[in-house]
Copies of this chain bind each other. A is one copy, B any other.
Amino acid sequence: MALEHAILVSLLEKPGSGYELARRFERSIGYFWNATHQQIYRVLKRMESDGWVDVRDVPQQARPDKKEYSVAAVGRAALSGWLHEPIEPESVRHDLAVKIRGAAFDDPAALIGEVERHYQAHTDRLAHYLAGERRDFAGPGAPGAPDPGRELQHAVLRGGIAYERMMLAWLDDVRATLHRLAAGR
């Protein structure tokens, strides 16, 4: 399991509450790792009792008080340990691929709308990534030594961009295939 490690990374980048983490997972981080607030709260509790994170009560006006979490030494060590052990071939789950193969036993043309919806969703996501890239990684970076955090975040973002572009090309291919099958019946 790596949700705890994803949380550690996110908290190292910037400490925050469970709620804030959930929002980050919805936005930036959620594009390569997602989790609901329930999961995050539960895991944070465990991480706290294991001494991986420290908590600090932050009173607020005009909104509920929050608990701000930050990474403790033990958590940093745990992350380091995880980083040094190999991980394996991520298990993939592409619902759409199952649907496409399933369409052979149903009406292939009925999938065209679905594929177009996905095309649109990936177009939006790509635009969002590109906007983020322009915003955060436009200039040549600060003078002097490169900031590893910034460089690595950019590398992950470039992966997201490459993924979306690949998906768009493939979805276009799939759409053409579905049209061809619909025409040739």
Residue positions of A touching B, CB distance < 8 A: 2, 5-6, 8-9, 12-13, 31-34, 76, 79-80, 82-84, 86-87, 89-106, 108, 110-111, 114, 117, 121, 145-146, 148-149, 151-156, 158-159, 162-163, 165-166, 169-170, 173-174, 177, 180-181, 184-185
Contacts and interface: CB of A to CB of B under 8 A. Distances in A.
A91 B34 contact: yes
A40 to B, nearest CB: 14
Contacts of A121: 89
Summarize A's interface: helix, strand, loop or mixed.
helix
13 contacts: A8-B102, A32-B93, A32-B98, A79-B102, A80-B106, A83-B103, A89-B121, A94-B159, A97-B156, A104-B149, A151-B180, A152-B177, A159-B173
Given A33-B93, A76-B105, 4 more contacts: A79-B105, A90-B93, A90-B95, A163-B170
